[in-house]
Chains A and B, each alone.
Chain A
Amino acid sequence: MKKYLRTKILVYVLTFIFAVTIDWLIPRLMPGNPILVLVSRFSGLPESARVMYSYLTKAFGLDQPLWKQYFNFWIAFLKGDLGISIYLYPKPVLDVLKSALPYSLGILLPSILASWFAGNSIGALAARRRRLDSILLPIMYFINGAPYLWLGIILAYYFGVVLRWFPIAGAYSFGLRPHLSWLFVGNFLKHWILPFLSLFIVQLGGWAIGMRNMVIYELESNYSRFLETLGVKNSLIRKYAFRNAILPQITGLALQLGTVIAGQVTTEVVFSYPGIGYILTQAILNQDYFLIQGCFIFIIIGVLIANFTVDLVYVALDPRIRYSYGGEIS
């Protein structure tokens, strides 16, 4: 067990350094110049634009050679400083993330986890009952295939504009100031439900179909047949099939959880909901090296943590892994 953890942690640290280096490098390989883009937004006299250009290039340290910028980046990173955003100048990247991430996570984590649980339950259920399966499967395929943008707009239009049950923009009413009261919490939830629901629905189909197929596959594998011929109870066979089928679903969940941040742009645009997704696309369009870096460092950390957790969960779930690292199987 110790050996297993040691190897894993070493691999993760190396992966982190490598991934962050790539994350640092790739924005800088993009064509274009972020300071020029920043200056472009200034509609003043051309003479003034020149003055600002030279000041900002120096202020962001972009006049230094690349290797020096790279070292500066790591030194600052180890001090917990992710630099200053160019797009949201002069807000520090860490502050940008702090104010935007909670909104993203507040939508994404619940929707992914809820759709995972619901999808797996529905899938497993469908695999067991033929008749249910023939109804559920087409629905799930439909949901899974529906373009997200389209679904989001339909939800926003129908529930927001036609029925007027839910608001269509913002994280809470624009006439409110955040404070602790039922009014505010209720208002927040009302704004939260549509974006949440849209993401929940689109992800549901994929999980359900995956689970259904896996369970059917396991039920028809040799060990199930063998158990059947031995006359074992059906419920026990299903239990084994389920335990085997859940493994790939967990890996899928880990990958989803890791990349949550990037997958939210459309939700934010359709529901005009704050969050990091839109900021990240804008950062890329504005070539905001520091903000892109900062966002992806969070994604990298997210992916690594999620995978590490899954590694640990696997040990608990899958005895084969446990035994192979314990040396019981040589």
Chain B
Amino acid sequence: MKRVFIFSTMFLVLFASLIWADVVYPRKETLYAGGGLWSPPSNWNPITPWNAVTGTVGLIYETLFGYNPLTDELIPWLAESGRWTSKNTFEIKLRRGATWHDGTPFTAKDVKFTYELAKQIPEIYYSPIWTWLARIDTPDDYTVIFTFSSPRYHEWTYNIYQTAILPQHIWSKKTKDEILSGANEKAIGTGPYLFETYSDDRMVYLRNENWWGNKVFGQPKPKRIVYLRVLSNNVALGMIMKGELDISNFFLPGVPTLKKTYSDIHTWFEKEPYMLSDNVAYLFINTTKKPLNDPNLRRAIAFAIDPSVIARTVFEGQVLPSNPVGFLPIKGWMKYYPENAAKQFGFKYDPKTARELLDKAGYRDINKDGFREAPDGSKFKIEIIVPFGWTDWMESIKIIASQLRQVGINAEAKFPDYSKYWEDLTTGKFDMAINNFNSQITVSPWTMYNWVFNSQISSEMYNGNFGRYNNQRLFDLITQLNMTPMDDVAGCKRIIEQIAEIHLKEMPAIPLWYNGMWFQASTQVWKNWPSEKSPYAYPVTWGGRWQTGGVLMLIGLKQ
């Protein structure tokens, strides 16, 4: 009897320790991250990437290429190499030895399947590619040849590091509904991490020990990534100070002040601006409304706003004012920078010029109420909107409104709820609004132009060109840019000069400042975070962006 008791106790202890090992994550092997998860995890479907949990693409699923915005290099990822073999064929050689998480080898069939799926199911977001892609050939298991009917070089280069490759052996068995609206829990990809578990306030990834990239890039250091849903800034800040959050991609007010007392908080730059620039905050102007349909007024507005005040006061020096053409200060964009247009037609903060422009265009204060009237003598008032609760933007537009009032333009800041803001923007009911939803760092400034001057003007602008600026010549130039090979820098630049000239003369959207790549890390557990001095990776963990640096950062971490 006694023996039975001893045995069962031993068994229980053993059993308990077995469970133990799996349910308590050792601190030294775990990376806690935040800033890219705002709602309870509910979706791991790369076909609906806007709603997928951050890491779905990048950690679980992978793309053919990665992109490093710091060096402006495409990183061969699932592809070993890729090149244009003629004007309209792009040949990709795939890596050998890559496997899906279930052990099935990754081959050219998967790549072909992923793209052709969007031909069968036109509801898939990347299906418009088939209007300019003709066919895909796979001469052998590790070669894919894309033949284009009308090659769009910039869009394609963007596409090959955005589109997640799907496993044919799993996805070909799914129904259309499962593909389009399945949650795809327990996703099977080729990536460095596996889906482990989740609950309402976290997502847990477990390292894939058999990742093909271990031999190519090296192994990511954290065994587990626990991605937290943190609901407020002060909690995130508190957690970083306590060393409970290793990396945060939140915008946290107060970081510059805190850095002085807590040396544990790591940022990219030691001094201002602390953060890298990630995307451009644009002030969209509704060009269909009177008197904002007048380019003279829009240009005067551009001269009247001083983004450096916003950068200094609202963002405490964590952002930089934009250049007049809205080009992010990265290699990949600056190589096409339209110096001539910027010099000739560019604007800078200069209230004197703003007043002169307004006077010349006929905007005068006739009734002496302190505000200028339109040239036809009618009074006007401009409302600037941003979503309620986006405190940094709310403060920014208050400053903009007061700066406009200083040159005699009656302007007011308004804060509708997000859905109302978005409806006003998409249906064209606003006067002026700040937005940055698609101006982030990419491989080509074409993506920004394609968004700011989205040519598909309709009753509802789903994304971009909210001011409904309609100029066919401009749209043609942007298309032309897309169809000019990316390595033809001089050719691209020539077109961009023309685009920028129209942009600056017409001013339907004013680039104001660069929102930062918010990045604060704690050095208590993980060290060797990327920084100005060791710029080995772009420190991003936001959804859909891991392949532009996040994964490389995981590999470069040290303890």
Query: A interface vs B, CB < 8 Å?
Result: 30-34, 36-53, 55, 59, 84-85, 87-91, 96, 99-100, 103, 153, 156-157, 160-161, 164, 167-171, 174-179, 181, 183-184, 268-275, 278-279, 282, 285-287
Contact = CB atoms under 8 A, between A and B. Distances in A.
Contact of A51 (B125, B230, B241): B125
A27 to B, nearest CB: 11
Contact of B22 (A177, A184, A268): A177
Contacts of B39: 87-88, 279, 282
B180 A36 contact: no
B423 A175 contact: no
A174 B244 contact: yes
Given A51-B125, A169-B228, A40 B422 contact: yes
Interface string B438-459: 1010000001001100101000
A185 B208 CA distance: 30
B143 interface: no
Interface in B114-130: 122-128
Interface string B463-506: 11100000000000000000000000000000000000000000
A41 B23 contact: no
Contacts of A50: 456, 462
A43 B231 contact: no
A168 B234 CA distance: 10
Interface string B31-55: 0100000111011010011110000
10 closest Cβ pairs, A-B complex:
A42-B50, A32-B419, A49-B462, A274-B200, A91-B42, A55-B123, A48-B125, A177-B23, A32-B423, A88-B42
Contact of A287 (B42, B226, B419): B419
Q: Which of B22, B182, B197, B462 has the largest count of A CB atoms less than 10 A from its CB? A: B462
Contact of B40 (A43, A100, A161, A175): A100
A90 to B, nearest CB: 4
A272 B229 CA distance: 8
Interface of B: 16, 19-20, 22-27, 30, 32, 38-40, 42-43, 45, 48-51, 122-128, 155, 158, 162, 180-183, 197, 199-202, 204, 226, 228-232, 234-235, 238-239, 241-242, 244, 417-420, 422-423, 426, 437-438, 440, 447, 450-451, 454, 456, 460, 462-465, 544
Contact of A34 (B30, B417, B419): B419
25 contacts: A33-B423, A33-B426, A36-B423, A36-B462, A41-B51, A43-B438, A43-B440, A44-B162, A53-B460, A55-B180, A89-B181, A91-B42, A103-B200, A156-B238, A161-B241, A169-B239, A174-B226, A175-B30, A177-B23, A178-B199, A181-B19, A269-B232, A271-B235, A274-B199, A285-B418
Given A49-B125, A88-B40, A91-B183, 17 more contacts: A31-B420, A40-B462, A44-B438, A46-B464, A47-B128, A91-B43, A96-B40, A99-B199, A100-B40, A153-B234, A169-B235, A169-B239, A171-B199, A171-B201, A174-B228, A179-B23, A183-B24
B24 A168 contact: no
A126 to B, nearest CB: 36
A156 B450 CA distance: 46
B232 A272 contact: yes
Nearest to A58: B123
A285 B42 CA distance: 18
Contacts of A103: 200
Contacts of A272: 201, 229-232, 235
Q: Which of A34, A43, A99, A167 has the most CB of B within 10 A?
A: A43
Contacts of A273: 201
Given A59-B180, A90-B183, A274-B200, A175 B24 contact: yes
A177 B197 contact: yes
A52 B238 contact: no
Nearest to A175: B25
A285 B419 contact: yes
Contact of B462 (A53, A157, A160, A168): A53
Contact of B19 (A37, A160, A179): A179
